[in-house]
Amino acid sequence: MSLVLLYLAGLGAVSGRWLARQHLAAKPWLSAGPSLTLPPDGGTELAAKLALGIFLAVVGLLFALLVAAYGMRVPPGSTGIPLDPRLLWLTTGFLGLASLLLHRAGRAARRGAEDEAHATLLAAVAASLVFLGGQGLAWRLIWEAEAGRTADAAGSFFVLITLLHGLHLAGGLAALARIAVGAAWTGSPARLARSIGLCTLYWDALLVIWLVAFGILFRTPWSGLIDVLCRPPA
């Protein structure tokens, strides 16, 4: 659970830094008057960003718990998952591409190039669907090889992590579809840019989460670091 505690310590540090600026040492019984210290007018956009940030912190913790559980459950000498990792490198590439395309769509929307934004948005959706399809194929291969039910549980974790990650991405796709339809309906480039910005943040976060999960499920250049963080000392 050290990875989880480290994650929580990180969140605690961010929260602590924020709290330190909230005048918690003030003596409210001594001061009267509307001494307003709310953030500048951010309106719904700021609230949506904050909500997404909090949600992503929760999602991050969910996957940190899964990675920690992997570290506690799967023996260090696990035979691993009987799947060609090149398939997953390919799907990872598509998720990264989707993320890049969303960045590009956001830039186009901010320039007011709505048609370009829409086309790039559709390409991002397509890349995400390819990622999901690839993950689904890997899921099926694992299941058919009965690797989801082995005693060392590496295959089971693959099934579980890709399932939960895929569901989160599917939720994001639903939101993205709603944004695309909503923007076409209202025709507001500024609103489109804001919404794409939120989706981009979500996709980036899911990409990072997937890279961490990929790193623990298969040998990748960053697997050693994750092992250090989530394996209990021998």
Partner 1 sequence: MVDTPIGAAGPFPGSEPDEAELYHPHSWLTRYVFSQDAKVIAIQYSGTALAIGFVALILSWLIRLQLGFPGLFSFIGPAEYYQIITMHGMIMVVYLLTAVFLGGFGNYLIPLMIGARDMVFPYVNMLSYWIYLLAVLVLVASFFAPGGPTGAGWTLYPPQAILSGTPGQGWGIVLMLASLILFIIGFTMGGVNYVVTVLQARAPGMTLMRMPLTIWGIFTATVLALLAFPALFVGAVMMLLDRLLGTSFFMPMIIEAGQRLHYGGGTPILFQHLFWFFGHPEVYIVALPAFGIVSDLISTHARKNIFGYRMMVWAIIAIGALSFVVWAHHMYVSGMNPYFGFFFATTTLIIAVPTAIKVYNWVLTLWRGDIHLTVPMLFAIAFIVTFLNGGLTGLFLGNVVVDVPLSDTLFVVAHFHMVMGVAPILVIFGGIYHWYPKVTGRMLDERLGRLHFWVTFLGAYLIFFPMHYLGLLGVPRRYFEITGLGFIPASAASLNAFISVVALVVGAAQVVFVVNLIRSLWHGVPAGGNPWHATTLEWQTPDTPPRHGNWGARLPVVYRWPYDYSVPGAAEDFVPQNQPSHTAGVAP
Binding site for partner 1 (CB under 8 A): 1, 4-5, 8, 11-12, 15, 19, 22-44, 46-47, 50-51, 54-55, 57-58, 61-62, 65-66, 69, 72-73, 148-153, 156, 159-160, 164
Helical spans, DSSP H, in the chain: 2-20, 43-73, 85-111, 114-144, 154-186, 189-217, 223-230
Distance in angstroms (rounded) separating the CA atoms of residues 129 and 169: 9
Angle, alpha carbons 169-130-61 (nearest 5°) = 25
CB of 81 to partner 1, least distance (A): 13
Nearer to partner 1, 47 or 224 (CB): 47
Nearer to partner 1, 47 or 89 (CB): 47
CB of 168 to partner 1, least distance (A): 12
Terminal CA-to-CA distance of the chain, rounded, Å?
14
Nearer to partner 1, 90 or 164 (CB): 164
Q: Provide the token pair at 145.
A: 């090889």
**Which amino acid belongs to residue 232?**
P
CB of 185 to partner 1, least distance (A): 17
Nearer to partner 1, 94 or 157 (CB): 157
**Which amino acid belongs to residue 4?**
V
Distance in angstroms (rounded) separating the CA atoms of residues 73 and 224: 17
Q: Provide the token pair at 107.
A: 């830039």
CB of 63 to partner 1, least distance (A): 9
Nearer to partner 1, 73 or 111 (CB): 73
CB of 124 to partner 1, least distance (A): 24
